[in-house]
């Protein structure tokens, strides 16, 4: 299964429905509980998950869905093609009310994130990308194709990274860079989107992420010409039979960049 541009826009409409649920909670008073892994959970996560699951089941009946907050009934063998969903990526940023949270919906096939949709409810920007389709952004100005930016020797390397994770490992990586650089922190899968639209060059990630945190952003970035590499220099992979936790990784706008490994 693959998604063409029309299919991506159908998934994008579902993400926008989820975004409206998230913003309805964001506009009021809300609190968080703690899940078993001590990560925060809000009513916005649950409302967005219900909307996404309902929408995907309606538009793409029979396709397995693995979400951070719910999972389709198990099948044997595990399906090779499925939707991978984070209904609210960046719950910590949501709780801080800094606007740096997203809705992530990816289609995985053959271990690859072959298509992805990332919605940033603040400031209402939708990113779409898929193999053979290209990458696009939609905001108040309308639709625009997006593309990574070639690295340029005459300017500092633009590095983006986690606002909440990384610590000493990230500092060591930055210190190992041979070229001048600027670092800008950002939350959620927005970092992948910054690379995809040419606003950043590299995103090194140290510390835990789950498959649903990265798949949609990776699909958008790769459709825009970038790459996401594991510590062995191979593309980050996905699957229901794989560990839910990702390895460290390095996301690149320009794949020709030679940078320290993660």
Give the length of the chain.
262
User: Is 91 annotated as ligand-binding?
Assistant: yes
Distances (CA, A) of 89 to 42, 176, 225, 229, 253: 12, 30, 23, 21, 21
Q: Where are the alpha helices (DSSP H) in 75-202?
A: 91-96, 167-175, 190-196
DSSP category for residue 241:
T
DSSP category for residue 37:
T
- Under DSSP, is residue 84 helix (H, G, I), strand (E, B) or coil? strand
Distances (CA, A) of 90 to 44, 58, 147: 11, 26, 24
User: Is 248 annotated as ligand-binding?
Assistant: no
Q: Where are the beta strands (DSSP E) in 58-209?
A: 64-67, 81-89, 102-109, 112-120, 125-130, 134-139, 142-145, 157-162, 181-186, 202-205
Taking alpha carbons only, the member of 220, 240, 209, 236 closest to residue 64 is 240
**Percentages (nearest 5) of helix, strand, coil residues in the chain:** 30, 30, 40
User: 196 and 221 in contact (C-beta within 8 Å)?
Assistant: yes
Place of tokens 């100005």: 141
User: Is 88 annotated as ligand-binding?
Assistant: yes
User: Is 86 annotated as ligand-binding?
Assistant: yes
CA 235 to chain centre: 15
User: Is 230 annotated as ligand-binding?
Assistant: no
Where is the binding site, in residues? 68, 86, 88-91, 213
Where is the binding site for Mg(2+), in residues? 68, 86, 88-89, 213
Where is the binding site for substrate, in residues? 68, 88-91, 213
């Amino acid at each position: 299964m693959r998604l063409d541009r029309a299919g991506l826009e159908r998934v994008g409409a579902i993400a926008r429905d989820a975004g409206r649920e998230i913003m309805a909670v964001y506009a009021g008073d809300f609190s968080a509980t703690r899940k078993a892994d001590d990560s925060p959970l809000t009513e916005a996560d649950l409302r967005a998950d219900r909307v996404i699951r309902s929408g995907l089941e309606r538009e793409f009946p029979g396709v397995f869905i693995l979400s951070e907050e719910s999972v389709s009934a198990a099948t044997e063998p595990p399906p090779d093609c499925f939707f991978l969903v984070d209904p609210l990526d960046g719950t910590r940023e949501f709780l801080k009310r800094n606007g740096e949270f997203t809705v992530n919906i990816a289609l995985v096939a053959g271990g690859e994130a072959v298509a992805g949709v990332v919605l940033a409810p603040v400031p209402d920007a939708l990113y779409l990308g898929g193999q053979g389709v290209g990458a696009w952004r939609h905001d108040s100005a309308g639709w625009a194709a997006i593309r990574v930016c070639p690295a340029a020797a005459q300017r500092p390397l633009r590095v983006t990274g986690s606002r909440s994770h990384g610590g000493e490992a990230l500092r060591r990586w930055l210190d190992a860079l041979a070229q001048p650089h600027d670092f800008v922190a950002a939350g959620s899968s927005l970092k992948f989107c910054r690379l995809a639209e040419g606003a950043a060059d590299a995103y090194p990630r140290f510390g835990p992420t789950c498959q649903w945190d990265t798949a949609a952003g990776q699909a958008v970035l790769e459709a825009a010409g970038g790459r996401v590499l594991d510590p062995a220099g191979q593309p980050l992979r996905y699957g229901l039979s794989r560990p839910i936790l990702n390895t460290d990784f390095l996301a690149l706008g320009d794949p020709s960049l030679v940078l320290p490994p993660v």
